[in-house]
Amino acid sequence: MAKPPLGKRISWRLEVLAFDFLRLILSPFSFDQISAMGGKLVEWIGPLTSKNHIARKGLETAFPDKSKLEIDALMKAQWNNVGRTFAEFPFLHKLDATGDSARIKVIGKEKLLALRESDTPAVLISGHFANWEVMAMVFSQLGVNVQVTYRQINNPHIDKRVRQEREAYGIQLMVPKSGPKGAKQLLAALGQNESVAILNDQKFNQGIAVPFFGVDAMTAPGATRLAITKKVPIIPMSTVRDKANFTVTVHDPLPIGQGGDKAERIAATVKTINEFMEDRIRENPDQWFWVHRRWPKEYYK
């Protein structure tokens, strides 16, 4: 690979310095304080960024019947959630998902424990709900054998910090989210009785067009293809935030599309996955990651 331009390398260094500095100055505070400060900070900064238009357009698309005042309130709340999520990340390794602490409650824990003891792995899917990293921490700390997909961050120094934090709270096996190499690794994992975990709610340009809140959105079919190919269940998970406390729910397996050829079964199952995501977003519309362009880029003009 070509060496990045000097300006890019300098900006990467400045970004990681800012990351390390923020982590340092926040470290004396409690987890609740860190979460609250991050939320308040991004409540102020978020509306000043280009991402504000993206988030507002998404909320208006998903909730066309809501008034401007209601959308404004959701905008403020979703920025708070974004701030809390990113402030909490460097400190997640301090949390315990296995004890009786009120910090993390797991509904459907028995499903993960059964999966841990089972000879049949699963494709665990979820979306960017609340602090989505908490889900991976839960099944990792419960001892479920899982390989987690991830998208490499452009800044290699930040990417290193993120990988180190995930390893600190128990995620040792991370697989590239897309590409033939990642797909091959995931198939191999399922073949070795290892479950795989995939966030399946963001735009994937090489995916298939499936309605998302009534508008076609390119959606990744990889999780569905894995489940159909290996004949394993798709188990969805979700997380809900209450300030700096979390409820993680392990839902019942989703139905796999039946009838027709494989492409039709995949399309039907991907549609079901999108409907699951929609239902969770409707329950807590301020706790989804709206700053991602879920629909085609032209839609946001």
Q: For 188-227, how does the pLDDT look when each residue is reduced to its tens digit (9 = 90+)?
A: 889 999 999 999 999 999 999 999 999 999 999 999 999 9
**C-alpha angle with apex 197: 94 to 293, nearest 5 degrees?**
95
CA distance 181 to 239: 29
Listed in order, strand segments (DSSP E) in the chain are: 104-107, 123-126, 146-150, 174-176, 195-199, 203-212, 215-219, 234-242, 245-250
What's the whole-model pTM score? Answer: 0.92
pLDDT the model gives residue 61: 96
Torsion of CA 73, 76, 82, 86, to 10 degrees: -140
184: helix, strand or coil: helix
Using N-to-C axis directions, what is the helix angle for 51-62 and 68-88, rounded to 10°? 120
- Write out residues in the chain with pLDDT < 50, as ranges: none
pLDDT at 177: 59
What residues have CB less than 8 Å from 122, skipping those under 6 apart? 115, 195, 232, 233, 234, 235, 253
Taking a C-beta distance cutoff of 8 angstroms, is the pair 80, 42 a contact?
yes
Q: How far is CA 142 from the centre of its chain?
A: 19
Q: How far apart are CA 269 and CA 251, in angstroms?
A: 16
pLDDT at 176: 59
User: Would you mind telling me the total number of residues written for the chain in this entry?
Assistant: 301
Please tell me the predicted confidence (pLDDT) of residue 96. 83
pLDDT at 147: 86
pLDDT, residue 221, reads 95
> Which alpha helices (H) appear in 46-108, and where do they start and end?
51-62, 68-88
Residue-wise burial string across 165-189, b where 16 or more C-beta atoms lie within 10 A, e elsewhere: bbeebbbeebbebeeeebbebbeeb
**pLDDT for the residue 136:** 86
User: What is the structure's pLDDT at 163?
Assistant: 83
